[in-house]
Amino acid sequence: MTTTLPSAGLTDPVHDSQRIFRKILQAMARPGLPRALSAEAQPPGPMSATIAAVAITLFDSGVSVWLDAYHDNTATRSYLELHTGVRVVDRLEEADYAIANGAASIPFERLRPVDPRTPHTGTTVILHVNSLRQGDRVRLTGPGIRSDISLLVDGLSPDFWADRHHRQNEFPQGVDFILADHLSICGLPRTTRSA
């Protein structure tokens, strides 16, 4: 009989999750600046170690996550449930978090509807991108950015920026994004404007 051991989570769960949480906070407070994130997580494919580290840090048994077709498989579901206790849901409308491949179109219209009195209950989307160091140049403005900043990003759907802009017009009901490549993360809060 052979036993398959689960993929490794964080090497030092307490200290690693504290370090990663600080990086996530920095990324959301200073949008458009990629933050290096060394992660020892070993998730099943196709999930990157960076996304796994963010998930292990943010998820627990009190939240739910939706996985897009790129990430949704039995191994990934089991990995997230084992290391976080998160509830994986099949309907995006029910998810506190979503993990998706940035190259595919995000169904913005299916994100959980948000009451304007409780905008914090909206879905936070963690998007896998190819690179946060090269690719299309996008100018960002808003809180946490002195005047403006240029973000280089490769691996987003051609519709992403237009769809995001449309959703931002519903502020405070916008969507918070964490972009993640294989080495770093970048925050894109709902208050950040793109041009």
> pTM of the entire structure?
0.92
The mean pLDDT value for 168-175 works out to: 75
Is 176 part of any domain? yes
**Enclosing domain of residue 162:** 13-194
DSSP E strand stretches across the chain: 35-36, 64-67, 87-89, 97-101, 124-128, 131-141, 149-154, 176-180, 184-188, 193-194
Is 95 part of any domain? yes
The mean pLDDT value for 173-180 works out to: 90
Is 4 part of any domain? no
Token couple for 123: 């879905």
Tens of pLDDT along 97-153?
A: 999 999 888 888 888 877 778 877 889 999 999 999 999 999 999 999 999 999 999
Is 2 part of any domain? no
> What integer pLDDT is reported at residue 6 of this predicted model?
56
Is 63 part of any domain? yes
